[in-house]
Copies of this chain bind each other. A is one copy, B any other.
Amino acid sequence: MTAARTVRARSAGRPTLEEVAARAGVGRGTVSRVINGSPRVSEETRAAVEAAVAELGYVPNRAARALAANRTDAIALVVPEPEARFFAEPYFSDIVRGVGAALADTEMQLLLTLVGGDRERRRLAQYLASHRVDGVLLVSVHADDPLPELLEQLGIPVVISGRRSEDEPLASVDSDNFEGARAAVAHLVAGGRRTIATITGPLDVYGARRRLDGYRAALADAGLDELAAHADFTEEGGRRAMAELLARAPGLDAVFAASDVMASGARQVLRDHGRRIPEDTALIGFDDSSIARHMDPPLTSVRQPIEEMGRAMAELLLAEISATTPTRPSLVLPTELVVRASS
């Protein structure tokens, strides 16, 4: 196969616009117009060009197009690598799936960019700035991250996943954390639970705050008292928080954990204390990850429409890219309570 590779090295004889034009008996400009779907081409000419394209198996050269048109037809999905939480189920693959679905009928390419430490993060801004992408999808953005604003200043369309505050200035797609938490706790109340605790995520994360707010709202509706322990979305944190809650309120009969992973940690502690789930203590998580489905008993959990969020992010970004003036829309998608045996 050495021969083939050699051929590849010198541009493999792939047809160019020029050759298509010659074949169709028209000029370069006309072929370009047909390729790009311009309406200012007569029907016969269009047909002739399309025939030539098909005969020669012509595919436009992206690099040439990018250079001439000053756009790349590519967007970047920027993933913070150290962020273990994002890489865990179900986020990453579902987001990618959704983005891919939205891009499937498009000419857009998806560039995956993993950013590690600060050094790479610095390079990234420069990298993205030099017009290598038409837009950027940012997931798992922290409140104090300068990157989104930097990109905005550079005029690069950005869509982020998850708002960072109530009035997010950037285009964003979020799930309804408040309502998801409220529904979960309301379900516990409806099940006759009266001492309902929560294990929160880190409260500098807006989504974690909203889940706490939802918990509080449901308790207020039922006239019940709040019982919260703070953790950090990890299993170990869930264990510690659960132990703390049991010490503070041995009579609790339900726990709403702001993530499945924390719920898993809580379950271990409940077991160690000889508490049956759901008989003695009901347990609900958040994320509806595979952990929830395979936990024993299967965990009731709040499902976020991650794949749809990915799709929506991509669609918003495409809209922002083609818009003449940025609109920065904020989309909030509904969550869904998936009831299983744990509650």
Contact = CB atoms under 8 A, between A and B. Distances in A.
A110 interface: yes
Given A92-B92, A112-B100, A154-B4, A132 B294 contact: no
A101 B112 CA distance: 12
A273 interface: no
Contacts of A7: 155
Interface string A53-78: 00001011111101100101000010
A290 B132 contact: no
B114 A100 contact: yes
A10 interface: yes
Nearest to A2: B325
A181 to B, nearest CB: 22
- Enumerate the 6 nearest inter-chain pairs by beta-carbon distance, A residue then B residue, closest first: A8-B155, A296-B296, A63-B66, A100-B114, A59-B130, A4-B155
A9 B67 contact: no
Interface string A63-97: 11011001010000100010000011100110011
A301 interface: no
Contacts of A92: 92-93, 96
Contacts of A70: 9-11
A131 B14 contact: yes
A116 B101 CA distance: 9
A129 interface: yes
A27 interface: no
Interface residues of A, number: 63
Contact of A127 (B59, B81, B156): B59
Contacts of A12: 131, 154-155
Copies of this chain, whole number = 2
A72 B63 contact: yes
A295 interface: yes
Contacts of A111: 109-112
5 contacts: A9-B153, A62-B63, A62-B72, A63-B64, A92-B92
A190 interface: no
Interface string A99-135: 0110010000111111010001000001101111000
Given A2-B325, A11-B131, A155-B7, A57 B93 contact: no
A87 B81 contact: no
A247 interface: no
Most buried by B among A8, A64, A104, A116: A8
A5 interface: yes
A264 interface: yes
